[in-house]
């Protein structure tokens, strides 16, 4: 973590944390179900996140190429064409810092066959509550 120093009691220095980065954290939401996408988009906005939305992996890849401030890719695993795992790999080629939250209506063991590594992946099964989503995103962005 970057710090700044403040003079305290003469020549003694005390380490102070820098203020948090201003502005909301940017989530790229990708899901081929338009109703689900709309609900989650609204939820993320209410939770204070900046949100870009795509209905396909191809559209999401274009958005990621144009927006270098995305911190989190939130993607459905099973989508027509390119799946969520393939999308994450494509985005990491241009933005290796982006973290990923996979979502699916299928349980984690069912999506393992689609390339999701079940041991070290952030996954949230649909349906989920706004509080669950917010907590999971905060954990992922904090690096845990």
For residues 35 and 32, what is the distance between their CA atoms, to the nearest angstrom? Answer: 9
Averaged pLDDT score across all residues of the chain: 81
Would 48 be classed as within a structural domain?
yes
Give the tens place of pLDDT for each residue, 124-137: 999 999 999 999 99
Instruction: Give the CATH number for residue 113.
Output: 3.40.50.2300
Q: Is residue 120 part of a domain?
A: yes
DSSP 134: H
Q: Rounded to an integer, what is the distance from CA 14 to the centroid of its chain?
A: 34
**pLDDT tens string 7-17:** 333 433 333 33
Number of domains in the chain: 1
Greatest alpha-carbon span in the chain? 65
Average pLDDT over residues 42-50: 94
Cα dihedral value 53, 124, 23, 35, nearest 10: 30
Q: Is residue 59 within 8 Å of residue 12, measured between CB atoms? A: no
């Amino acid at each position: 973590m970057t710090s700044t120093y403040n003079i305290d009691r003469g020549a003694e220095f005390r380490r102070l944390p820098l203020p948090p980065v201003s502005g909301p954290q940017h989530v790229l939401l990708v899901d081929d179900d338009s109703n689900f996408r709309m609900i989650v988009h609204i939820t993320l906005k209410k939770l204070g996140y900046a949100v870009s939305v795509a209905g396909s992996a191809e559209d999401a890849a274009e958005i990621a190429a144009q927006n270098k401030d995305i911190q989190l890719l939130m993607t459905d695993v099973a989508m027509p064409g390119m799946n969520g795992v393939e999308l994450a790999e494509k985005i990491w080629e241009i933005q290796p810092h982006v973290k990923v939250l996979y979502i699916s209506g299928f349980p984690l063991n069912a999506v393992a066959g689609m390339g999701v590594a079940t041991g070290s992946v952030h996954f949230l099964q649909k349906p989920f509550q706004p509080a669950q989503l917010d907590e999971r995103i905060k954990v992922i962005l904090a690096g845990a």
